[in-house]
Structure 1
Amino acid sequence: MKRIRRRLLLVVFAALALLAAAVGFFSYQVRQVPEFYQQAIAAPVVEQQQAAEQFEHSALELQNSIRRDEDWQVEIAADEVNGWLATALPQKFPGVLPPEVSEPRVAIAPDRLHIATKYHTSGITTVVSIQLSAFLTPEPNVVAVRIHRVAAGNIPLPLGKYLEQITAEAARHGIYIRWQEIEGDPQAIVTLPIAEPGDKRAIVIRSLQLLAGKLVAAGTATPVEPAPKQPARLTE
């Protein structure tokens, strides 16, 4: 009887040791932070503010170019985006992010876009990162976005159950998504609006490139033909 009890205790202690090791491993892995995110968060405040100003200046130049020219081109540097996310986003749009999400940052590599953000839940703080690639399809203003990896720290996360939520949230903002699978990765086919009611110009994206440290896009902006006036109806 004593031998059986001793063996049972050994099994319980071994199981507890394995559980403790698993919890420790998970806790360690979930707290790992991508290198690009560490560097972006550590950028001096002055540099972030200057980058944010440059980002807004570039956005204004693009807006003016679209208004007056048929052809447009824009280069968006990752550092400028991160500066804007660090300084302008919290000040100008304080409620746009969910309460669990904070300090988003990006990195742009050839044919890859990396996005990461702090995520707080159930007493755990981790950095959730997403690795994407994007390219234009033959259809006008239709972009394919392939999701290569989503992770909390170093722990991969399943994305399947969130696809419907992503689709519904995008539709609320006038962006329509359909999904397909490419080599096991979900790929979103995103239809961007060419022109919305009230727009004076129809914007079409002709090229889209993810290069080292920047995104480059170009396209056209043509005047929208006004809707023909309906003839007045005679009333008796």
Structure 2
Amino acid sequence: MTEPANSASPSDAAAHERGARTATRFRRLALIVLASLGIMASVAAGVAFGLYKSATAAVPEYEAVVAIDPLRAETQRREFESQLSTLVSDTQALPEWKTRVTADQINAWLALRLERDFPGFQQAGLVAPRVILEEGLAVFAARSEATGVEGVITVALRPLVTETDELALEIESAKIGRLSLSLDLVMGLLRQSPLPNMSPIRLSQSDAKAAVIVDLDRLEAGRDKALRLTGVDVRPGELLLRGETTTPQP
């Protein structure tokens, strides 16, 4: 878990403003990642309409995490936001930083804050999104109510850091219920969506691999600093991030 860091004095207005901007960028990055996982749901549901039984099949992994206890979730939501605040402080004060968050904390925030802070997911037919963290994989799952098909869409991603320090979310699989969607179909849906126009996102596909790439250079820790992600580890129930705060060369 991230250890508290010595941050700038609260009376330093400039430092406070930089921290607020960095926190906003982290929240925006989280939203972009969520969008990259779920933005295909409404269109893909239309593809699945003719295969209703397979598309509406239950997904036990999702059913196991979708229900929450309100009191426990509120505590976990606060823990998640505290982790974010500490991470922001660390990126400003430390040359190297790391953090650990759990799937329960992420899902508590998704349940209690996503639609309030970033409205529009339900309007797009994407309901009750959750994250399932497995060994090496982050699985996004949500109910899709688009086009009358009430199925559960799941997208399994393998996060990794590229040689150019970008965050790559390799698409391992995508399904609605038990119905598998091909990578070509998934990438086609993503290219037709607003996602490619969302900075700092780009799409990559070659041979049998496809990925959503996030350019982390767009996340700045201050006027004279930049963030560099050095590692992403996904373990059952938890996500670990490691990185550095660097001073760009003129």
TM class by shorter chain equals 0.7 to 0.9
Q: 2:190 aligns with which of 125, 143, 163?
A: 163
Counterpart in the other structure of 1:113:
138
Counterpart in the other structure of 1:218:
242
Once the two structures are TM-superposed, the CA of residue 48 in structure 1 deviates from its matched residue by 1.6
* Counterpart residue identity of residue 103, structure 1: A
Counterpart in the other structure of 1:60:
85
**Counterpart contact for 2:220–2:227, Cα < 8 Å:** no
Q: 1:199 and 1:97 mapped to 2: Cα distance?
A: 36
**Counterpart contact for 1:176–1:192, Cα < 8 Å:** no
> Are residues 197 and 46 of structure 1, via their aligned partners in 2, closer, same or farther at CA, if it must alter by over 3 Å?
closer
> Are residues 90 and 178 of structure 1, via their aligned partners in 2, closer, same or farther at CA, if it must alter by over 3 Å?
closer
Are residue 45 (structure 1) and residue 70 (structure 2) matched? yes
**Counterpart contact for 2:54–2:179, Cα < 8 Å:** yes
Moved more, 113-122 or 77-86: 113-122
Once the two structures are TM-superposed, the CA of residue 95 in structure 1 deviates from its matched residue by 3.1
Once the two structures are TM-superposed, the CA of residue 150 in structure 1 deviates from its matched residue by 0.9
Q: 1:105 and 1:58 mapped to 2: Cα distance?
A: 19
**Counterpart contact for 1:194–1:204, Cα < 8 Å:** no
Q: 2:205 and 2:124 mapped to 1: Cα distance?
A: 30
> Are residues 210 and 91 of structure 1, via their aligned partners in 2, closer, same or farther at CA, if it must alter by over 3 Å?
same
> Are residues 170 and 45 of structure 1, via their aligned partners in 2, closer, same or farther at CA, if it must alter by over 3 Å?
farther
Are residue 36 (structure 1) and residue 61 (structure 2) matched? yes
* Counterpart residue identity of residue 134, structure 2: A
Q: Deviations over 1:4-35 (max 9, x none)?
A: xxxxxxxxxxxxxxxxxxx9x94332222322
Q: 1:151 and 1:212 mapped to 2: Cα distance?
A: 21
Q: 1:148 aligns with which of 172, 196, 201?
A: 172
**Counterpart contact for 1:77–1:214, Cα < 8 Å:** yes
Q: Deviations over 1:120-139 (max 9, x none)?
A: 12222111110111211221
* Counterpart residue identity of residue 148, structure 2: G
Once the two structures are TM-superposed, the CA of residue 187 in structure 1 deviates from its matched residue by 2.8
- Which has a greater percent of helix? 2
Q: Deviations over 1:132-151 (max 9, x none)?
A: 112112212x1232211111
TM-score relative to the length of structure 1: 0.75
Moved more, 114-123 or 90-99: 90-99
TM-score relative to the length of structure 2: 0.71
Q: How many residues align?
A: 200
| Identical residues among aligned pairs (%) | 21
SS at match of 2:150: strand
Q: 2:102 aligns with which of 73, 77, 90?
A: 77
Higher relative contact order structure (alpha carbons within 8 Å, sequence separation ≥ 6)? 2
* Mapping 1:65-214, distance limit 5 Å: 65-95=90-120, 98-140=123-165, 142-157=166-181, 158-165=185-192, 168-172=194-198, 174-182=199-207, 184-196=208-220, 199-214=223-238
Once the two structures are TM-superposed, the CA of residue 181 in structure 1 deviates from its matched residue by 2.7
Residue segments in structure 1 that go unaligned for 5+ positions in a row: 1-22, 228-236
